[in-house]
Amino acid sequence: MDERQRARRPGGRGARVGAAVHQAVTDLISERGYGNVTVGEVAARAGVADSSIYRRWGSLEALLTDVALTRLNARSPMPDTGSLAGDLRTYAANVAREITGPEGLALLRLAVALSSNGQQGTQALDDLLAERGRQLQSMLDRAQERGEHAPDALGVLDHVMAPMYIRVLFGLGPLTPDYVNSLVDRLL
């Protein structure tokens, strides 16, 4: 393939396949819930062969973890506003927007369901939580470097993230900006 052909294929086939497979997973989980999705169904929805999925991800759990991590990381980036309060408010607002969006509940259910799917599922959830913890810790470390008193990452999860997740998972009310900001204020 010459350079002109490559230039017309930004991201290439691999990127297109990855995006199609990720979207297929999200759509199927939104429609059917976790546990009712197979690699074959994901492959059919994405227009790829089962072997492509196994070759790239190795297992359904690894694929589901990759989808959850990619979606959560892309949509809930770690902000840097110059203050811990600003970072936490922005981050919490981003998460609230993500988990109440069209794919949000499916991604939350996916993350929760991974833990009940044997050793691979437990490892997948552990990997997901570890990555989110590293991201939160980087935000908290920046705050400490600026001389601010920062809670630990588990405190952010317990006092800000968990209440939002519970509200969404159980349909207990909207995540209004005032509510989200009040969670951050209570933590700080």
Regarding predicted confidence, which is higher, 2 or 12? 12
CATH number, residue 26: 1.10.357.10
Task: State the total domains in the chain.
Answer: 1
**Mean pLDDT for all residues in the chain:** 84
> What pLDDT was estimated at residue 92?
94
pLDDT over 70 (residue 8):
no
CA 164 remoteness from chain centre: 14
Boundaries of domain holding 75: 3-187
CA 142-145-147 angle, to 5 degrees, is: 115
CA 70-160-100 angle, to 5 degrees, is: 55
pLDDT over 60 (residue 6):
no
Mean per-residue pLDDT, 119-146 = 83
Count how many residues are written for the chain: 188
pLDDT over 50 (residue 5):
no
Mean per-residue pLDDT, 11-16 = 76
pLDDT over 50 (residue 117):
yes
Rg value, the chain, Cα: 18
Whole-model pTM? 0.71
> What pLDDT was estimated at residue 7?
46
Q: Report the range out of 1-5, 54-58, 129-133 with the highest average pLDDT.
A: 54-58
Q: What is the DSSP string of 34-97?
A: TTS--HHHHHHHHTS-HHHHHHHHSSHHHHHHHHHHHHHHHHSPPP--SSHHHHHHHHHHHHHH
Mean per-residue pLDDT, 101-125 = 73
